[in-house]
Amino acid sequence: MAITTGKSSHEEFHNEDSEYLAKRTLKSGSAGWILLAGLGVSYVISGDYAGWNNGLAEGGFGGLLIAAVVIAGMYLAMVLGMAEMSSALPAAGGGYTFARRALGPWGGFATGTAILIEYAIAPAAIATFIGSYVESLNLFGITDGWWVYLAVYAIFIGIHLTGAGEALKAMFVITAIALVGLVVFAVSAWGLFESGNLTDIPADPDAVGSSSFLPFGVLGIWAAVPFAIWFFLAVEGVPLAAEEAREPEKNVPKGIIISMFVLIVTGASVLFLATGALGAEELSTSGNPLVQALGDSGAATAVNYIGLAGLVASFFSIMYAYSRQTFALSRAGYLPTSLSVTNSRKAPMLALIVPGVVGFVLSLTGEGAMLLNMAVFGAALSYVLMMISHIVLRKREPDMPRPYRTPGGIATTSFALVVAAAAVIATFLVDPQAALWTFVAFGGFMAYFGLYSRHHLVANSPDEEFAVLAKAEEELE
């Protein structure tokens, strides 16, 4: 029998039997804080190898630098807020779980949808970059990228189906190799660095506030924001591993915070050293910026091959993230419940395969830059909703147990909220078509929820139970 959550609510919930949940369980205890920190870095590390440099064409070195500093501050503030929420609500839904507790079913599904759009589209963008790398390296004689896209999706979905522990360990090794590649790059680029190269883009005399430092003026800072996000995009996915982590209330916050500090160091290194080695103007249009910055050298060849590992690491780990977000939304009834069934190794089969098929089809467009901007739009929208969730929970449930508390409280997450809102607008400024298509996809998901799935929610799924318990406690008070 359906039960409703409140007088003004039209959402309908029902309880499923133990067999339903038994078919939808993940393997707990698969990851400690080291693997979680590695997961956070692996989500993002491909962004150090390619993509960020296109921001130089929008804002010049100065514009991208200022945008990167502001965005780094936003991500750090957001990560501290998510560390608190993940310690209090450790479930596979991540941001959806937090928003569901704070904003109700509509807010929870909106947040989960924005995250899912980000994680389903980002691998498609990365797949196009992997294809470019494979073609440029002339590996296996491949000259047509779609074979590469198909291969990477098939191979890495297969690895994920073997189970979370095995997948996370493989990801950790690949990420370590990618970090070694960044060290090789930094050491080699140091000797090529010339400060004049940072500001070699001619200033646009018609741009307000233009100079050698800001060749496209003040507006260039804003236009560079989506590319600055590429330095950190998806690090917020660490809480999606909460149900598979050991002592998630301790290890998830520790893992996400450590990964954030590692990414600040790597992002700053490539921004300064690559631009200073090659020059902002030439680097702004490069498809392989770190390699091109090193020129024709043995180090460049090494970084070129290792760069492929960096792209694979992010592709591999974001695949993990989209499967867990799909799994959580499906288990609770927001998406078709067949998507959350797990195999004998406790890996969600269709949650890995279905978004993978969608991503593969998107990758066939070959529009890596547009797909990147679509992923950024979904990410920025989810950041707005997650930061609102932190603020609401702090205000409405001040006594909720929080093993970790955000330094600065709501002041910290309010800063992240303001910057994230500006980032959503910036995506329309840089690529209106990408932002519009993503908004249409988001609207389609919300229509599905409004017309169908909100009448079929599973009250005793773990993510929903967090919210149900909170409401029961509120009614008792």
Residue 95 has pLDDT above 70, yes or no: yes
Return the pLDDT at 469: 56
At residue 19, what is the residue type?
E
Per residue in 25-61, pLDDT (tens digit) is 766 656 678 888 888 999 899 889 888 998 999 999 9
Domains of the chain plus CATH, in order, are 31-401+422-456 (1.20.1740.10)
Q: Which two tokens stand for residue 225?
A: 């924001």
- Lowest-confidence region among 15-24, 305-314, 390-399, 416-425: 15-24
Return the pLDDT at 243: 75
CA 307 – CA 291 distance, rounded (Å): 9
Per residue in 283-321, pLDDT (tens digit) is 998 878 898 899 888 888 888 888 888 888 888 888 888
Return the pLDDT at 475: 52
Per residue in 107-145, pLDDT (tens digit) is 999 999 999 999 999 999 888 888 877 777 777 666 666
Instruction: Please give the mean pLDDT across all residues of the chain.
Output: 86
Residue 338 has pLDDT above 80, yes or no: yes
Return the pLDDT at 131: 82
